[in-house]
Structure 1
Amino acid sequence: MLPLNKISKLKLLEIIGRINFFKGFTIAQRELLLQKSKVYNCKPNQFVQSELDHNSHFYIVLSGEVEILKQGGSQALGVIKAGQFIGEGSFIKKRPKSATAKALNEVIVLCMDQDTLHGLPHALKGKFKDAVIEGMAERIVYLSGQIQDFHHKYSPES
């Protein structure tokens, strides 16, 4: 991943404005978040994160798609799209990454770490945490639906 330097802050604000994760943030809060965090560009097949990474980085996909894999596995577990995030487990509990994430196409991600989060104003920190919780709740609903679909598809008929 390389730092994204060739795009204006105004364009980044426009991209972030389209992302559901940031819907509850004011423009000033979005600007401050961009100032304090890092934005990276990933080329296709570059890793956003690896299970071997020992950091608590949290990545929000701003554009593109990221494939989720388990180390040593060749089959994708899923695809994360713009507005979704990865790395929340290690971000929240400072534990090892549970999966590897690889860019499927040109990807832009916003990277947040615990130190940066703690340095944000209280109101912004609260909105950020609320957005993470909301995103995790959406993922649980989605995965529950996937489990139900799988059960209906593969359960023996009565």
Structure 2
Amino acid sequence: MAKRVQLVLNQDVIKLGRTGDLVEVAPGYARNYLIPQKMAVHATAGILKQVERRREKERQRQLELKQQAQELKTALENVGSLTIAKQVGEGDAIFGTVTDREVAALVQQVIGQEIDRRGITLPDISKTGTYNADIKLHPEVTATVEVQVVPE
């Protein structure tokens, strides 16, 4: 069996690794595909140091993002409940539904900070009342906000 070659990936390669990963591949794969396509470079001491510095910067950036998400979570929990007015029919049934866009717009209006509507998880809201909405601010930080649906 041929000797394996160590490379550092410059970009994500499917079924091989992510950017900055140290991988061992067959020499032909490295010589004929990865290196000419500029997807990888030979692993040297200097390049490994660069990769380590990049990883440390990324780790610091992720810590900052998590800290910002924690602060946003605290601000959301201090708000109390968000009130949304909807048209009501018989039996306190609302017309339409409460959407994540409405909740995101209300949060931006109340705390002045924009949040991603795709991170908002709402229960099925079909009547007036109080519901809990989960807002994912970071992969490790989720805030729970009380949404109160009232008649218009």
Normalised by the length of structure 2, the TM-score is 0.27
Q: Which structure has the larger Rg over C-alpha atoms?
A: 2
Whose relative contact order is higher, 1 or 2, with alpha carbons under 8 Å and at least 6 apart? 1
Normalised by the length of structure 1, the TM-score is 0.26
